[in-house]
Amino acid sequence: MPEAEPQFPQSMLEAVSFAARAHQGQLRKDGKTPYLSHVFRVCLVLRDLFDIHDDKALTAALLHDTIEDTTTDFDDLEENFGGEIAGWVAALSKDKRRPEPEREDAYVEQLQNAPWQVQVCKLADIYDNLSDLGSSSPEKWSRTFKNAHRYLDGLKANLAEQAREPWNLVSELLATMEAGETGRSGGA
């Protein structure tokens, strides 16, 4: 008997299509990998590693970079996915109009005050960004580690119960990678 095909809610299928259009032509920092692969991996980390099966959270994961990294705005998401998901994606987005230090502080604060669905989406995003470092430059490793620490430390202060285990998984990955990087770079 063939295995049953997984069923995905219509909102997730629409989010895949929306994200594909929004991120069309974008590449990851390596200049080769389609950006959309990151969006899919974040959703898969959320579902398969963090064991989160909340359809709205998975939909938000697929859309998590649309406001920050495309021409999509809150109204576009609200019209297509409703106010709750649009609000979650907005909470996952940095306000690029602000200067860098102020922007990061405001972003950490909005993550701290966000619903658990937003917090676990951000944790999945951090997890994927760490997992995707590969042969990146030492500067990229350093910047990614710094950001991961900033977000993990900020989230720890006001972590929702549903986000505790994912937070632990991301923290363990970060510690393991830092230990490996320290050994690889001779303690630098």
CA–CA separation, 78 vs 170, rounded Å?
30
What's the mean pLDDT when you consider all of the chain? Answer: 90
CA distances from 100 to 95, 103, 104, 108 (A): 10, 5, 6, 12
Report residue 188's pLDDT band, with 50, 70 and 90 as the boundaries.
Answer: very low
Active site residue 181: no
- Ranges 59-63, 103-107, 130-134, 156-160: which has the least confidence: 156-160
Q: Structural domains in the chain?
A: 10-184 (1.10.3210.10)
pLDDT, tens digit, 9 for 90 and up, residues 70-100: 999 999 999 999 999 999 999 999 998 999 8
pLDDT, tens digit, 9 for 90 and up, residues 154-181: 999 888 888 899 999 999 999 999 987 6
Name the catalytic one among 68, 78, 132, 178. Answer: 68
Mean pLDDT, residues 138-150 taken together: 91
CA terminus-to-terminus distance, the chain:
55
Query: DSSP character for 6?
Result: P
Active site residue 128: no
What phi and psi values does residue 137 have, to the nearest 5 degrees?
-65, 160
Mean pLDDT, residues 57-61 taken together: 98
Question: DSSP for 40-104?
Answer: HHHHHIIIIIS----HHHHHHHHHTTHHHHSS--HHHHHHHH-HHHHHHHHHTS--TTS-HHHHH
Q: Kindly report whether the global pTM for this prediction surpasses the value 0.75.
A: yes
Question: What does the pLDDT read at residue 183?
Answer: 47
Q: Reply yes or no on whether the pLDDT at 187 is more than 50.
A: no
Q: Reply yes or no on whether the pLDDT at 49 is more than 90.
A: yes
Name the catalytic one among 14, 55, 69, 181. Answer: 69
Nearest in space to 86 (alpha carbons), one of 96, 95, 74, 71? 74
Query: DSSP character for 161?
Result: G
pLDDT, tens digit, 9 for 90 and up, residues 107-121: 999 999 999 999 999
Mean pLDDT, residues 36-57 taken together: 96
CA distances from 31 to 25, 26, 28, 35, 51 (A): 11, 9, 6, 9, 31
